[in-house]
C-alpha cells in the first residue's frame, strides 16, 4: 500500500511539473507582430488621421476619417458598418473599430462610418437600409462639397467605393450593395462581409464585376450569425466569377499567449480591450479588406484576398516559429463554372442536404451516366470518396467517416460530361 501511495504521489508531482512547464513554455510564446509590408502591414502612406462628426441621431449621424501628412487631393471611399449597438454611447461608436479605421485611412482610403442603428433593434431591416442609404448620400455630398479629401472617381466618373462590416454591419454591407440603385448610391466595387447576421434575398442588384469576400470565424457561436445564412449569402453570388470572390474561415490558435480567438467580434479593434488588436487583425481582417480594396481599385494585392494563394491563408508565425493556424476556404469555387452549377441544380437532387449520416443522390433517367463515377472532395482538394461504374439513377453515400463541413461532388461518365455540386455535412 505504501509503495502504491508513493507511486501516486510521484505521478502527481510529475503531472504538475509537466503542466507547469507546458504552461510556462506557452506563456513565453508570443503571437506575430504586425508585418512590415503588405495590406496588413505597417508600411503606411499617411502618418496622421483627421476625423469629423456630423449629425445628432441615427437619421443623420456619421463620421469622416481622412488621411493627412501628407494630405491627398482624392482617394477611394470605404464605408464601414458597425455591428449591433445596444447600450453604448452612440457618440463614441467608432471607438469599437477605431484602429481598423486608422489602418484603412493610413493605407490610403477615406472612411465613412455611418450610425445607421442604435439601441438593439431600433429599426427594422428595411428602415435600417433606407436610413443607411440616406446617411451615406449625406456623407458623400459633404466630401464632394466641403473642405475634404475628395472621392476618387474612375474613368467613367463613378465614385470608387467599397464597403465592409461585421455581424449586423456585414449584412448591411451586402444589402446596401444589392440595393445601391434604388438608394441613389454608386455601385460598390468591393464588399467585405464578416460574420454577417441575417438571411439573404437574391443579390442580383450587386454588379457582376464586384469583388466580394465572405468571412466566417471558427469560434463564432453562430447565434448572431447563423452559419446557414452565411452559406446562403455565398450561394446567392453564383453570378460573380470565381476570381472575384472568396469564402473563408479565420481560425483560433492557442499555441502561445495571449491566445488568438477568432470569435464573433474578432473584427472589432477597441484599444480599451487588451489583445483586441493582434494577428487576427493584421493577417485576417486588415489584410483581407485592404487586399480586396487595393485589388478592386488599383488591380494590386489581389492574391491577398482572392484566389487560393498562400498570401490569403498565411496568418504569420508565433515567436517559436510555429505558423499560426491558416485561413481556410469554405468553397474553392474553382471546381465548377457558373453553367456547371446551373446544370447541377437543374439535374441533380440530393436528400437530405445538409446531411448527418447518409445521403441519397438522384438524377433524371434521361441524364445518361452509363459507367459513371462519383467523386467527393474536401475543400483542400483531396478526394475522400470515389465510387466507380455507376449505372443506376441514384446512389447512396455513407459519410459517417467524414468530418463536418462542405464537400464538392463531381459526376463524370465515359463521355467526359461533368456535373458538379455541393454537400454540407452537419
Cα separation of 117 and 214, whole Å?
22
* The predicted structure's pLDDT at residue 290: 98
* Domain total of the chain: 3
Tell me if 37 is assigned to some domain.
Answer: no
Tell me if 412 is assigned to some domain.
Answer: yes
> What does the pLDDT average to over 370-379?
68
Grade residue 214 by pLDDT with cuts at 50, 70 and 90: very high
* The predicted structure's pLDDT at residue 63: 97
Name the more confident of 48 and 95. 48
**pLDDT at residue 87 tops 70:** no
Is 259 in the same domain as 368? no
* The predicted structure's pLDDT at residue 31: 94
* The predicted structure's pLDDT at residue 234: 84
Of the ranges 54-58, 139-143, 175-179, 418-422, the best mean pLDDT one: 139-143
Name the more confident of 228 and 239. 239
From residue 265, alpha-carbon distances to 94, 221, 281, 341 in Å are 14, 11, 11, 33
Burial class (CB in 10 A: 0-12, 13-18, 19+), 98: buried
Range of the domain at 356: 338-425
Is 359 in the same domain as 250? no
Tell me if 388 is assigned to some domain.
Answer: yes
Can you say whether the dihedral through the CA atoms of 178, 98, 120, 167 is positive or negative? positive
* The predicted structure's pLDDT at residue 2: 52
Is 153 in the same domain as 292? yes
Phi and psi torsions of 91, nearest 5°: -75, -15
What is the overall mean pLDDT for the chain? 81
- Chain-centroid distance, C-alpha 192: 6
pTM of the model: 0.74
Residue listed under C-alpha cell 459513371:
372
| Residue 387 and residue 343 in contact, taking contact as beta carbons nearer than 8 Å | no
Grade residue 163 by pLDDT with cuts at 50, 70 and 90: very high
**pLDDT at residue 376 tops 60:** yes
Is 206 in the same domain as 104? yes
Name the more confident of 306 and 89. 306
* The predicted structure's pLDDT at residue 335: 38
- Whether omega before 70 lies within 30 degrees of 0, making that bond cis, reads yes
> What does the pLDDT average to over 91-114?
93
Is 181 in the same domain as 273? yes
Is 319 in the same domain as 350? no
**pLDDT at residue 150 tops 50:** yes
Is 271 in the same domain as 200? yes
- Domain boundary among the residues 287, 308, 329 is at 329
Residue 309, CA atoms < 13 Å, CB-side half-sphere = 12
- Chain-centroid distance, C-alpha 48: 28
Tell me if 38 is assigned to some domain.
Answer: no
Is 323 in the same domain as 358? no
Residue 139, CA atoms < 13 Å, CB-side half-sphere = 34
**pLDDT at residue 310 tops 80:** yes
Is 323 in the same domain as 344? no
**pLDDT at residue 358 tops 70:** no
- Whether omega before 352 lies within 30 degrees of 0, making that bond cis, reads yes
Grade residue 111 by pLDDT with cuts at 50, 70 and 90: very high
C-alpha cell at 157: 466618373
Cα separation of 162 and 288, whole Å?
13
β-pairing verdict for 74-75 and 418-425: unpaired
> What does the pLDDT average to over 290-319?
95
- Whether omega before 137 lies within 30 degrees of 0, making that bond cis, reads no
Name the more confident of 139 and 171. 139
Is 25 in the same domain as 70? no
**Strands of 161-166's sheet, edge to edge?**
48-54, 62-68, 110-114, 77-81, 161-166, 190-194, 211-217, 245-250, 328-329
Cα separation of 17 and 24, whole Å?
10
Tell me if 303 is assigned to some domain.
Answer: yes
- Domain boundary among the residues 329, 362, 379 is at 329
Amino acid at each position: 500500500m505504501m509503495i502504491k501511495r508513493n507511486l501516486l504521489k510521484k505521478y502527481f508531482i510529475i503531472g504538475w511539473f509537466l503542466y507547469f512547464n507546458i504552461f510556462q513554455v506557452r506563456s513565453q510564446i508570443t503571437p506575430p507582430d504586425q508585418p512590415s509590408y503588405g495590406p496588413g502591414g505597417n508600411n503606411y502612406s499617411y502618418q496622421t488621421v483627421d476625423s469629423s462628426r456630423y449629425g445628432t441621431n441615427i437619421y443623420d449621424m456619421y463620421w469622416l476619417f481622412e488621411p493627412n501628412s501628407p494630405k491627398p487631393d482624392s482617394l477611394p471611399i470605404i464605408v464601414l458598418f458597425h455591428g449591433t449597438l445596444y447600450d453604448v454611447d452612440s457618440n463614441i461608436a467608432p471607438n469599437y473599430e477605431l484602429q481598423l479605421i486608422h489602418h484603412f485611412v493610413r493605407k490610403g482610403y477615406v472612411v465613412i462610418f455611418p450610425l445607421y442603428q442604435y439601441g438593439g433593434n431600433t429599426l427594422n431591416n428595411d428602415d435600417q437600409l433606407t436610413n443607411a442609404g440616406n446617411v451615406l448620400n449625406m456623407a458623400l455630398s459633404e466630401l464632394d462639397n466641403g473642405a475634404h479629401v475628395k472621392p476618387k472617381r474612375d474613368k467613367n466618373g463613378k465614385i470608387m467605393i467599397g464597403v465592409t462590416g461585421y455581424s449586423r454591419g456585414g449584412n448591411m454591407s451586402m444589402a446596401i450593395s444589392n440595393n445601391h440603385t434604388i438608394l441613389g448610391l454608386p455601385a460598390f466595387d468591393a464588399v467585405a462581409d464578416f460574420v454577417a447576421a441575417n438571411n439573404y434575398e437574391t443579390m442580383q442588384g450587386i454588379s457582376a464585376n464586384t469583388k466580394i469576400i465572405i468571412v466566417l470565424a471558427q469560434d463564432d457561436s453562430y447565434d448572431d450569425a447563423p452559419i446557414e445564412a452565411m452559406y446562403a449569402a455565398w450561394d446567392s453570388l453564383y453570378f460573380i466569377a470565381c476570381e472575384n470572390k472568396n469564402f473563408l474561415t479565420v481560425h483560433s490558435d492557442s499555441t502561445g499567449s495571449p491566445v488568438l480567438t477568432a470569435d464573433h467580434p474578432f473584427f472589432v479593434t477597441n484599444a480599451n480591450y487588451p489583445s483586441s488588436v493582434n494577428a487576427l487583425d493584421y493577417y485576417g481582417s486588415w489584410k483581407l479588406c485592404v487586399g480586396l480594396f487595393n485589388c478592386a481599385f488599383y488591380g494590386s494585392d489581389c492574391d491577398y484576398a482572392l484566389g487560393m494563394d498562400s498570401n490569403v491563408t498565411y496568418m504569420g508565425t508565433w515567436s517559436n516559429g510555429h505558423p499560426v493556424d491558416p485561413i481556410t476556404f469554405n468553397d474553392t469555387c474553382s471546381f465548377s463554372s457558373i453553367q456547371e452549377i446551373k446544370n447541377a441544380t437543374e439535374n441533380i437532387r440530393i436528400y437530405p442536404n445538409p446531411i448527418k449520416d447518409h445521403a441519397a443522390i438522384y438524377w433524371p433517367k434521361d441524364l445518361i451516366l452509363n459507367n459513371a463515377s462519383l467523386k467527393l472532395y474536401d475543400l483542400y482538394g483531396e478526394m475522400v470518396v470515389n465510387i466507380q461504374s455507376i449505372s443506376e439513377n441514384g446512389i447512396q453515400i455513407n459519410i459517417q467517416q467524414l468530418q463536418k463541413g462542405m464537400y464538392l461532388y463531381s459526376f463524370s461518365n465515359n463521355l467526359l460530361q461533368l456535373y458538379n455540386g455541393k454537400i454540407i455535412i452537419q
